[in-house]
Structure formats: C-alpha cells, structure tokens
Chain A
Amino acid sequence: MEMNEYLDVFIEESKEHIQALNDHLLELEKDPANIAIVNEIFRSAHTLKGMSATMGYQDLADLTHKMENVLDAIRNEKVKLTSPMVDVIFEAVDALEAMVLDIIDGGEGKKDVKTLVSQLESMEKGEAPVNTSAPVAEEKSAASTSTETELDQFELTVLQQSHEKGFHNYEVTVQLQKTCLLKAARVYMVFEIFEKIGEVIKSTPTVTELEDENFEFDFTIILVTKDEADEVKQKVMKVSEVEDVIVNDLKIDTYESDDTVDADAEIKQTETKKPEEQEAKKSQISTKTIRVNIDRLDALMNLFEELVIDRGRLEQISQSLKNNELQETVEHMSRISGDLQNIILNMRMVPIDQVFNRFPRMVRQLTKDLKKDVDLQIFGADTELDRTVIDEIGDPLVHLIRNALDHGVETPAVRKEKGKPEQGILKLNAYHSGNHVFIEIKDDGAGIDREKVLKKAISNGVLTLEESKAYSDQEVYQLIMESGFSTADTISDISGRGVGLDVVRNTIESLGGSITIDSTYNEGSTFLIQLPLTLSIISVMLTEVKNEKFAVPLSSIIETAIVNKKDIMRAHNRQVIDFRGKVVPLVSLTEVFDVPGEVDEDDFLSVVIIRQGEKMAGLIVDSFIGQQEVVLKSLGNYLTDIFAISGATILGDGQVALIVDTNALVK
C-alpha cells in the first residue's frame, strides 16, 4: 500500500503531538484559566485527528474528535476546567498513545475507548465526568440504530463534494436473515456489490468488525453512487440470506445541524484558519531542518569509522616514509577528518529533553499514587547527548526518579513534622562538562541513613563491623548499589532504595559512565550520573604488554607514571604505591590477561593510573605507545562476558587491539 510510505511520518508526528498534548496539559493543570494553552492543545489534537483519519485509523480519529469537542467547549468558556476533567483528558491521551504504539507494532491502532468517549461527551455537555459510563454508552448505541451515524469532518467533506458532483449519498441498512450462518461471507458479497456501483464511505460497525462477524444481523453503510435508491436495493437483495435493505437519502446538512451547532461551526472556523497558520509554521521550520532516517546516520557513522581506521593507517605510513609532501597532505586530511568527525557526532546528538519530557507526566502520576506533593524542576533539558546514550539512559533515570519519589521525598505530614515545606522538590539537572555529560537527580527528602545501610550490609555479610567503621560516607552510599542489596527484605525505606539500583549502575557503567551518590540524612540525596558524550569513537592510551597491545580509555586515566620498583609497598597482600599522598593498588595487566612471554626484569614500571568514581588503581604495562582516537567495536555476539575487556578496535596496521574495561579492574 502507498500508505506505508507515510506511516513513518505519521508515527513520528503522532508521537510529537501526543508529547505536546502531555506537556501542555501539565501546564494547563497549573494554569487552568489560560486559554492560550487550551488553544495549543486543541491544535495538537486537531492535527492528530486529521492525520489519523487520513491514515484510516478510525478509533484514533474518533477519540481525538471527542477530545477536541471538549477542548473547544473549554476555550469557548462553556465548560469550566476541573481537575477530574484533566484526569480524563490525560487518560484519553494515554489511550491515544497506546493506539499509536499499537500502530508502531504493526497493529491497526484499535482500542476500546467507549468509556472514555462517553466521559468526554458528558464533559462536553458541562457535566462532571462520572464513571457511570454504561447508561451513556447505551444511549448512544440506541441512537445509532436509528438513522444516525457519526461522521467526522473528513467524511463530511467527501459527501459534500460527491453531492455537488451529482452523486447520490445513501445510508443503506442491510438486514441479514436470523438464520444466516456465514455472516462474513454475506457481508463480503454485499460489499462487493456496493463497490461495483459506487464507494463505501463509512460502515457501522467497521469493516473489520463485520469481517469478524462481530455484529448482530444488521449493519449500516454510507454509500456514494450514481445509481437510484431502488436499483441499489434490488441489487443487494439478490444476495441470498439478506432479509431486508433500507436505502435512505442522506442529507449532509442534517448531520451538521444534528451535532451541537455552535461547536461545529467553531471547528469549521478554526479549520479554515488553521491550515494557513500551520503551513506558515511548517515552511518556516522546513528551511532549517530536515528529517533524516536514523539508519542513514548510522550508515554514515559506520563509513566514517572505516575512514578513521584508514586515517590511522595513513598516519603510520607517512611517519615511517618521512616524505614531507605526504606528511603535509596526511596532516591536512587528519585535520579535515577531525572536523568531519565533530560534525557527524553532532548530527547524532539529540537533546536529553527526549528522555526528560516524559518525566513530568510520570511524576504527576506517581505523586498522586503515593499521595505526596512533589515539585519536579527540570534544568538543562537542551543538553545534547549521543543518540545511543539517549536510548539507554531512559530506564535508569526512570528508576532513580521512582526511587527518589518513593523512598526519598516524605509524605506531606512527615515533612511538616520535620519542619520542611510540605511540597518536596525533585530537581533534574543535565549539563556538559569537558568530554562528559552529567545528569543530577536531587531530592530534598529523607536522605540515606548511614547506620541503617551499614547494618544491612553487615547482616548481608557484605562487610564486617570492623570494616564498616573505616568506610567513608561516600563508600557507604555506594553500598546501596551493590547487587546484594537488591533482594533485601523490607527494612523501612532503605531496602527499597536498593531495589534494582545495581541494575541502574550496571547500565550506566556499560555506557562507559559512572554514578555517585551524595546524601545528607534528613536533608536529601543527590545521584550524579556521568556519561561520555559519545560511544562510538573514543580516545585511548595505547599500551604494550609483551607483544600484545591494549587500549585504555582516556576518560578513565588520571595520568601515567614511571614507578621505581623500590617504591612498591604491600598492604592487605596487594602491591600498592603512594601516589600523590593516596594509596593506590597496582594491577599487573600481564597477570590479569595472562599474557604469554618472558618476564621482563626492569627496575622501573610503567603505570597507568586510572580512576573509577572514588576508587583508583595503577595498571602496570610494559610501555606506553601513545594517545589515539579509535573506533569502538564490539567483540560480536559470540564472545560475550569477557572479563575486563569492553570491546576491541582496529589499529592503523589493521591489527585488532583490545580495549580494557577499567571498571572491572578497579575493585
């Protein structure tokens, strides 16, 4: 079908509109009197309705249509907005979202929305939304058995135009015999006749419902044809097992006057205004941005990665050949490809708002469920991150926010008791710093009780009472992200904090990031996530161990040092050095990676000092080769879970070098 072409665009735009609906509804809730916001919502709903009707998603169009009516009533100040009303509209938006998701999954975007529709209808009439949907629905179905079928704007236009062109518009009710066994087959035959003589504009129940035999014995369709009513009737009656056919002339204006007159007229008006408005808006944007399929960007990135590898190779060749001209050209090419790299990486950057924008809604729901009062403050939503990171970071953030709301911020009563303002604050802050992006989740809730965490850790056997005394606050907080804490049985609020936090940490670390916790008891906690800007091209320090090459990500290196063997001390049965006043354990890569070859007896050791969070370690290598930009490649699906190796890269000479997973080594 041709429609497929537009499906992607439809899905993208629907998602945007649903997001816009959500955002504006939240604003509206805070500022119910603001008609400008209602107008924004109305606009989104209207566009969504138009799009879904064009694409043939009837349920979607119907629901948005109802929503639109309500919004229209609100902005014309016929109906006053109340909090329960906002809830219903939110529910409607949720239903819309579910339908769009269904369409994304290849479904038909169908959903039973009768309850919502009737709620919206009653709201439109100015009644408070009550959940007694049944009678209203009945009323509606009773109405539809007579000659009334709901028509939307799109269908009305078609009917109008066909009428102008001299076609007849009929409403045909076909009744099958009660003894009819193959209802679907009869329906099919009837439709075949209809399609020969004209066009079916609408059918009640819908065609799919009819095909599924999801109806009693009669159905009604709206038919546009040149044939006379009698002819139509005769033709259909020829189909066996058809009891009766009623053909009525359909007057379009009856439909218009049928509905709430004012509202419809209002819609008409705005409709004539709106397309221009939107057109203008669209053309303005289209000159500045274009939509590019993400696959193409990925393909571009892959090609560029190949180029980076070749660049490395060329640099190596030119250095060994020592030809001036070649060197100059290669240098120039390196500079240009560096710029190119920046541009490509920038293209893949998306604002973190894509993740943040669903949080206000989530927080609203959660606080309602938890009966808490929390003000969510978002800062730095325009901070940009690589798409791959964005895709992964959503779930951990959801988890942390849930945690903060559930276990961090106290209930208003408790807060009052503690002398804090009843409304809690949850701050979400994203910002760039160096080659990293930081995301801060800060609440002013209960904080983490050091003693409780320690007690738990000791009872879990994670550490002993003696050890616990030496733990800094920071180290204690890190404990709640240990996997041992996740299955903890319920000890007040702390155990809850541990649920799944190890998963959060693992996800973040697998992205090459880290997470630290800071907390003051009774004043709140801060979770700070540090993430790399990009995942695919990274800077590494290339080192040599015997005949093998290992790459250490520059992001985790503090510095490199040459250490005299005499300066190595032993503590807890481990080799340690004194590095700028800190005791740093040494890790020999030869041992960790079991590198074959003769043991080199040298008085001096080359050490790469790495840091992960608060912990440091020194990696002993044989020699440093130098700093290099490399393309991160995975080891594939066959080799998974290789200890202390996070991936591989291809060096200038075409050989593969492994990238050291520093997280695993700092322990």
Chain B
Amino acid sequence: MANEFLKSIVFELNDEEYALPVDLVGAIERMMPITRIPGAPVFVKGVLNLRGVVTPIIDLRERFSFEVKEYTDATRTIIIQHNDMDVGLIVDAAYDVIDIPTESIEPAPETVGSVKIDYIEGVCKYKERLLILLDIDEILSTDLFKQKAKETTR
C-alpha cells in the first residue's frame, strides 16, 4: 500500500513547478494559431483546431492572475480531457512525467507559491523539487466564467 505513485506531468509557470495527473492529459502541443472568442473571459485566449476538435484554450498565467508574458519557443499547450471537456492550458514550459509517491503529497499549506489556495490540491517534495498539484476541477470551473459572460452581455 505504501508504494503507490501518482503519475504526473510537470510544467513550469511563473518560475514555479506544477503537476497534473497524467491521465488527464490528452496531448502536449506547441503553440498553434488561436481564434479569438469575442465576449469570453480574458484568460480564455480562444479556440484552436486540434485534429478536428474545436478546443478552447486557457492561459494559465492569466487564469491565476499572474503577470502576462510573451509566448516563447518553450511555451506549450497542455490539452486536458476532463468531464467531457477538452480544454488546452497554456504554460511556460512542460517537462517530464514523474511518479510522485502518494505518501509524499501533503495538503496545501496556507501560503505556497503565488497561486490561490483554491486551485491547489496539495504539494509535494520530490527530489529537492517543490511541486504544486493543481485541482483541475477548480481551474475548469465555469462558475466564475458564467458570471463574467453575463456581465459582458449586459
């Protein structure tokens, strides 16, 4: 029981390292042309054609209200498939897939990094790296989004 692992994908955002369970990830793509969606919240950069599927793209920096940065060669879009939704997340860089021992995951302390606690599922130390595990449901929550949509249409 003690040796269970959470296979996770590690990516960089605002000089911090984050992790998401690998089974959520459908693909990791370089930047592709994005079509803007008028009236969508600012962190939704638009939609792109991912092999025939129109996929909305979220800029995670803007989702977490970080400072906006130009996209670089390292910028990646992580395509998440979750709850019947296909959504792409723009991150600064995507690295490796690692096995995080589940026992090393701790609940999020009140202050960790710069992301609001709501989006954090837990943190873990892995070979001297501090990884922040994100809560995908919170990130993809459309509650906030629907509020904004209402405001813009009014």
Contacts and interface: CB of A to CB of B under 8 A. Distances in A.
Contacts of B132: none
Interface in B54-105: 54-56, 83-87
Given A645-B38, A656-B49, A658-B35, A636 B56 contact: yes
B85 A638 contact: yes
A645 B49 contact: no
B33 A655 contact: yes
A595 interface: yes
A587 to B, nearest CB: 13
Contact of A594 (B38, B49, B56): B38
Contacts of B39: 593-594, 642-645
Interface string A630-667: 00011111111111110010100011111000000000
B38 A655 contact: no
B33 A306 contact: no
Nearest to B58: A638
Which of B37, B38, B55 is most buried by chain A, counting CB atoms within 10 A of its CB? B38
Nearest to B142: A638
B84 A637 contact: yes
Contacts of A657: 35
A656 B35 contact: yes
B52 interface: yes
B44 interface: yes
B153 A650 contact: no
B37 A642 contact: yes
Interface of A: 305-306, 309, 548, 592-595, 633-645, 648, 650, 654-658
Interface string B26-60: 00000001011111100010111100111110000
Give the secondary structure class of A's interface: loop
Contacts of A594: 38-39
Nearest to B35: A656
Given A635-B47, A655-B33, A642 B40 contact: yes
A363 to B, nearest CB: 38
A656 B48 contact: yes
Contacts of B47: 635, 639, 648, 656
B49 A650 contact: yes
B149 A636 contact: no
B52 A306 contact: yes
A639 B84 contact: no
Interface string B117-154: 00000000000000000000000101000100100110
Nearest to B149: A641
Contact of A641 (B49, B52, B140, B146): B146
**Taking each of B47, B53, B146, which has the highest tally of chain A beta carbons within 10 Å of its own beta carbon?**
B47
A566 B28 CA distance: 52
Contacts of B36: 548
Nearest to B36: A548
Q: Report the interface size class on chain B.
A: 20 to 34
A592 B83 CA distance: 32
A65 B83 CA distance: 46
A643 B142 contact: no
Instruction: List the 6 shortest-distance A-B pairs measured between CB atoms, nearest first.
Output: A593-B38, A656-B35, A648-B54, A637-B85, A633-B54, A643-B39
Nearest to B48: A656
Contact of A309 (B52, B56, B86, B146): B52
Given A650-B49, A655-B49, A656-B47, A638 B56 contact: yes
Contacts of A638: 56, 85-87, 140, 142
Contact of B153 (A306, A595, A643): A643
B37 A643 contact: no
Q: Which of B40, B46, B49 counts the most chain A CB atoms within 10 A?
A: B49
A653 B38 CA distance: 21
Given A635-B47, A640-B142, A654-B49, A645 B152 contact: no
12 contacts: A636-B86, A636-B87, A639-B44, A639-B47, A641-B149, A642-B40, A643-B149, A643-B152, A650-B54, A656-B54, A658-B35, A658-B38
A642 B149 contact: yes
Nearest to B87: A638
Nearest to A657: B35
A652 B33 CA distance: 14
A639 B40 contact: yes
Contacts of A635: 37, 47, 54, 56
A594 B38 CA distance: 7
Of listed B37, B54, B149, residue having the most chain A CB within 10 A: B54
Contacts of A593: 38-39
Contacts of A658: 35, 37-38
Contacts of A656: 35, 46-49, 54
B111 to A, nearest CB: 30
Contacts of B33: 654-655
Contacts of B153: 643
Contacts of B49: 650, 654-656
A648 B46 CA distance: 11
Given A633-B53, A642-B39, A648-B47, 5 more contacts: A636-B54, A645-B37, A650-B49, A655-B49, A658-B37
B119 to A, nearest CB: 16
Contacts of B46: 656
Nearest to A309: B52
A595 B38 CA distance: 8
Contacts of B146: 640-641
Contacts of B54: 633-636, 648, 650, 656
A592 B38 CA distance: 8
A639 B56 contact: yes
A639 B37 contact: yes
B115 to A, nearest CB: 20
Contacts of B37: 635, 639, 642, 645, 658
Contacts of B55: 636
Contacts of A654: 33, 49
A594 B152 CA distance: 11
Nearest to B84: A637
B57 to A, nearest CB: 10
Contacts of B142: 638, 640
A655 to B, nearest CB: 6
Contacts of A640: 142, 146
Contacts of B86: 636, 638
Contacts of B52: 305-306, 309, 650
B148 to A, nearest CB: 11
B138 to A, nearest CB: 14
